[in-house]
Structure 1
Amino acid sequence: MYNEILIDKISKNIDGKNILQNVNMQIKKGDTIGFFDVGDGAKSVLFQILCGELTPDNGIVYYREEQLGKFSETPRDVGISIHPMGFIKEFNGYKNLKYIAGINGNIEDVEIIDSMKTVGLKPESRTKVGDFSTRMSQKLSIAQAIMEGQDILIFDELFTKENIKNHRELRKILCLLKERNITILLTSDKKEYIEKICDKGYMIQDGGIKELFIKQENKDEEQIEEKQIEEEQIEEEQIEEEMIVEEIIEEVS
């Protein structure tokens, strides 16, 4: 079985500091991987390299055995959300995705609508993106990343301390994507935010990368799900009222 992504001896020096030094990693299809750092931005540098935004000083990135940069500067069939998306504030969510989809011309309205429904957004809503809450903006970013049927997704800074009230809903969306056997790469401020949905977690520190955790297989998946629901019940109750208020505001708009 070939690697979905192969990181081969990647190094990157920025302002005289070795952010990445001879980093190697193999990522299989369907893996959900979490990346962390010590607050120096190393995980975001790695993601920018994976997305073709930065060129490594040394080393090569392969997607499905194809070298990144050999035929295209950006990886093909990869959904990416590593910066705040530059959505048009005067457009609603659907019109924004329709505009972006027109760039490649690969999908029809049905795929756009399906991606919005997957993340819990209403395609028919007239609410302008400029009036979106943080929660709705993040959902739209995920919809943008998945709407063309990409089987590799890269999300930087999706789970942070600032948006902690949205974490449970984001995890639910990503669990749906995991069921489709999509390969997902994530970053997070803290391990606790995403370890429930990640198969593996890695810390980038002092230029190197080390394994933080590997989720052990458990045949009783229902037991795992019940435990997660129980653990997150308190968090759900805390954010439920705020989510209802946001939905009412959206409907009124």
Structure 2
Amino acid sequence: MNDQREPELTDQQILDYEQRIKDEEAQKIPLVCQIEPISKLQQEFEGNTLSFQNKIRNLAVNHDRIRRCRGDAFAFAWFESLLLDTNPATFSRALDTLQSTPELLLTAGFQVLAYEDFYDVTLEQFRQIPNRRQYPDDLLATFQSDEVSNAIVMHFRFVTSAYLKNHAAEYEPFLLVEMISIDEFCSMQVEAFGRESDQYQIIALTKALGIPVEVAYLGGAEGESVNFHEFWPDEADKARGVRPLKLIYRPGGFGLWLEKNGDPVV
């Protein structure tokens, strides 16, 4: 009697399978959603554990709205924050930072042909921010376009990868357990479109662009408290009261969370 067992899947095959499932689920929602009451998040995960539901309720005490995003949420969050901040100096500094990213990419060994189209789209849309303050819905429409949104996301993935490569000595020791080099990590986990970002990617991107981020993590750890992680590229910004971009991670990807009576609705 032949023992016909199913061949065991490799780690990469498992990752690819999980990614396919996420991609199929992701097609059911826009790249960036309208702002919704946080009760929508409770409905989305109503079949989850009681502790998970309680985490959402605890988050809802001070944060009553969310904006779900398919995959990456950083780019939209940054663009939107500059749309809402009418200080010309803030936008000017941010524009200078964005325009410095090609040099960062070249230093890390990226070829111009590999990134120039993504950068051009990102810069073009970035320069439109001041003009869109009268028509804020235009920003949402832009990020709901696959072609434009994906180009912007890829540019920031390349920026993240470039920062990690340029600071390999700082980050490579954390990859010893996985027994891969920083170049392999960047190729498989950072530059690969659709891969979820972990803390290394978030730290690298915040440092590359000088933008603080606060992430509310739902799921994972036991208990009913939401884990808030702050990523500050410069501790002096924290002392000056700079407001970080506020992202929420829930099973399925990132989004934005908004405080009660806080951030204006766009």
TM above 0.5 = no
Name the one with the larger helix percent.
Answer: 2
Name the one with the larger strand percent.
Answer: 1
Q: Which structure is larger by alpha-carbon Rg, 1 or 2?
A: 2
TM-score, scaled to structure 2: 0.29
TM-score, scaled to structure 1: 0.31
